[in-house]
Amino acid sequence: MKKRSAAPRHAIDISEADGIRYLHFGSDWVQGAMRIARPWSLELAYTRDMMAGLLLRDAADWPRRALLIGLGAGSLVKFLYRHRPLCRITVVEINPRVEWIARQYFRLPDAPRRITINIGCGADFMLGGDSLFDFILVDGFDADARPGPLATLPFYQACRARLTAEGICCVNLLGHQRGSAASAERIGEAFSGARAVFPATASGNVIVFATGETPVDLPLATLRDRTSALKTASGLDLRPLISRLQLHHPLPQGRLLIGRPLSLH
């Protein structure tokens, strides 16, 4: 298997405006953000949508093991670290400078007992290991906002193979980028159709959720109850996402289904 572990050579820049600190990879494209007064909150809408995975399983202590492909400003890591205290978090980041920037400027915790940072290619990590995870979040792009090997069928198949029975895989796609629709189709192929494509955010990010063995079957009322509970526990308000789901994707029989013939497409 060809290794792709060489660190990218692009610049890493930081900017600030209106109390928000932004991460860039040598361009105006935002790769991460943190509101300086609320460093633990999820500033970017797509990161909030990715945390909707917490609504899809019933256990309050789910996930116990999370894997993040792509570190960026560390927003997803910080949220899970703070609000899921029993969760052990593994991160794969190809650029060692991103880890340093996340610690110095974006308050990434130094907590080796709970957070493990692996420097290398996310595709190599997925294809070369066998450890299982409850929650896999894929949010890796290069300086030109291209996912590269993180958008291939073998990678998505590896994601499915690395999920526990109750596992959920979450992938951030850029809906306005060429190839994003094909990526969503490859996710569907890898997961035998057990995937849901959520409506795009205002910035164009499209979040795809997929399941392995155990399907998701949630009545809308339950989804709303879990949304309220998550808001109370963490401050994360996913009610706008639920409204977008209802507006853009009529839910069969008032249920969110992933992993059955009526799965959301």
Please give the average per-residue pLDDT across 209-221, as a whole number: 94
What domains sit in the chain, N to C, each tagged with a CATH number?
44-258 (3.40.50.150)
Query: Minimal CA–CA distance to 208: which of 92, 80, 50, 71?
Result: 50
Amino acid at 54: L
Please give the average per-residue pLDDT across 76-100, as a whole number: 97
Better-predicted residue by pLDDT, 10 or 105: 105
Which residues in 92-103 are b (16+ Cβ under 10 Å) and which e?
bbbbeebbebbe
Which residues in 132-165 are b (16+ Cβ under 10 Å) and which e?
ebbbbbbbbbbbeeebbbbbbeebbbbbbebbbe
Please give the average per-residue pLDDT across 192-204, as a whole number: 92
Q: pLDDT tens digits for 24-78? A: 987 778 899 999 999 999 999 999 999 999 999 998 899 999 999 999 999 999 9
How many residues are listed for the chain in this entry? 265
Which pLDDT score is estimated for 6?
Answer: 59
Which pLDDT score is estimated for 178?
Answer: 75
- Angle among Cα 106, 176, 152 to the nearest 5 degrees reads 80
- Angle among Cα 256, 201, 39 to the nearest 5 degrees reads 105
N- to C-terminal Cα distance for the chain? 33
Which pLDDT score is estimated for 7?
Answer: 61
Q: How confident is the model at residue 250 (pLDDT cuts 50, 70, 90)?
A: low
Q: How confident is the model at residue 263 (pLDDT cuts 50, 70, 90)?
A: very low
Which pLDDT score is estimated for 252?
Answer: 79
Task: Reply yes or no on whether the pLDDT at 2 is more than 80.
Answer: no
Which pLDDT score is estimated for 8?
Answer: 64
Which pLDDT score is estimated for 260?
Answer: 65
Which pLDDT score is estimated for 66?
Answer: 98
